Structure 1
Amino acid sequence: MFTIEHEFDSTVITLVDEEAPHLREDVVINAFDDCVTLEQHEPTTDRLMRVTFSMSQLRDLAAALDLPEGVYKLVREGGGT
């Protein structure tokens, strides 16, 4: 299950783990104009863990989900990277 909310400066997506028996904490994704953050509460340390992706890293991740093992570099149409 997931939710989508539109805030003033970002879109917030929350992923809820519904798979039993080992439920994981919710993952909150904040999509800003210049970056995307992933946040998840870590119960063993009682801390919020955050990873920040640049837009370039996010494009690479999206492409990587559909590619076989290897090393790649995305080149945007028009010669940009």
Structure 2
Amino acid sequence: MFTIEHDFDATVITLIDEGGVALQEDVTICAFEDCVTLEQLDPLTGEPMRLTLSMAQLHDLAAALDLPEGSYRLTRKG
């Protein structure tokens, strides 16, 4: 399950784990103009962990999901 909200400066997507016994904490993805952040609460410390991806890294990740094992460099148009 997931939710999508449009805030003033970001689109916020929350991924909710509805899997089996070993459920994970929700993941919040915030898409800004120049980066994307992923946050998840660390169940051991109670503190949020944050990962920030540049737009280039995000495009590479999206491409990687559809490619076989290997090393790649994407060329950017424009």
Offset, 1:45? 1.5
Secondary structure of the residue aligned to 1:62 is: helix
Gaps of 5+ in 1: none
Question: How far apart, CA to CA, are the structure 2 residues paired with 1:12 and 1:77?
Answer: 27
Gaps of 5+ in 2: none
Question: How far apart, CA to CA, are the structure 2 residues paired with 1:70 and 1:48?
Answer: 32
Runs of 4 or more off by more than 6 Å in structure 1?
none
For residues 14-47 of structure 1, the C-alpha deviation after alignment (integer angstroms, 9 at most, x for no partner) is 0000012111000000000000000000011211
Identity of aligned residues (%): 68
Question: How far apart, CA to CA, are the structure 1 residues paired with 2:22 and 2:66?
Answer: 27
- State the match for 2:4 in structure 1: 4
Residues matched between the structures, number? 78
Give the CA RMSD over aligned residues: 0.8
Secondary structure of the residue aligned to 1:53 is: strand
Offset, 1:73? 0.5
